[in-house]
């Protein structure tokens, strides 16, 4: 019997002066993870960009719970997105999207 894949969801804030596209953000996340951990590490991470808000430059990223430290390191290593200077910060980490949205709500 196989175990269910445990996932973690990361709320990201992207600081960039210019408007960003979802494809640029996704490419930057993937290339940072590939650069640090190679193809094997990224394949085990199960990296997926769930949501990107181009108005506020917020994103939600999904990964495997065992790969969370690797993905946090990859996110911290991003200095530019699409040839534009940028910084990416992890705001919150949660085990479900519902809990993540609850943690990010203004009442919390």
pLDDT one digit per residue (tens) for the chain, 108 residues: 778 889 999 999 999 998 999 999 999 999 999 999 999 989 989 999 999 999 989 999 999 999 999 999 999 999 999 899 999 999 999 999 999 999 888 765
Residues ≥6 apart with Cβ < 8 Å to 81: 14, 16, 20, 24, 25, 28, 88
Residue 107 pLDDT: 63
pTM as predicted: 0.90
Nearest partner of 32 among 94, 92, 87, judged by Cα:
87
Q: Looking at residue 24, what is its pLDDT?
A: 94
User: What 3-state class would DSSP assign to 59?
Assistant: strand
Question: Which has the closest alpha carbon to 105: 88, 91, 89?
Answer: 91
How is residue 24 written in tokens? Answer: 């640029």
pLDDT of residue 105: 82
* pLDDT at residue 4 in the model: 84
Q: For the structural domain made of 7-104, what CATH number should be given?
A: 3.30.70.3250
**How far is 65 from 27, CA to CA, in rounded Å?**
21
Q: Per the structure block, which two tokens stand in for 93?
A: 């980490």
Q: Which pLDDT score is estimated for 74?
A: 95
The domain segmentation of the chain, as residue ranges, is 7-104
Beta strands in the chain (DSSP E): 7-15, 48-53, 58-64, 80-81, 84-85, 87-94
The per-residue pLDDT for 21 is 93
């Amino acid at each position: 019997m196989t175990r269910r894949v445990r996932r973690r969801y990361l709320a990201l804030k992207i600081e960039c002066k210019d408007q960003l596209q979802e494809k640029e953000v996704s490419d930057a996340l993937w290339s940072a993870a590939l650069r640090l951990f190679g193809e094997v590490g990224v394949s085990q991470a199960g990296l997926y960009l769930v949501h990107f808000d181009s108005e506020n430059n917020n994103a939600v990223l999904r990964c495997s719970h065992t790969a969370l430290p690797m993905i946090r390191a990859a996110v911290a290593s991003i200095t530019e997105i699409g040839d534009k200077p940028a910084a990416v910060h992890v705001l919150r980490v949660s085990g479900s999207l519902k809990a993540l949205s609850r943690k990010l709500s203004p009442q919390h």
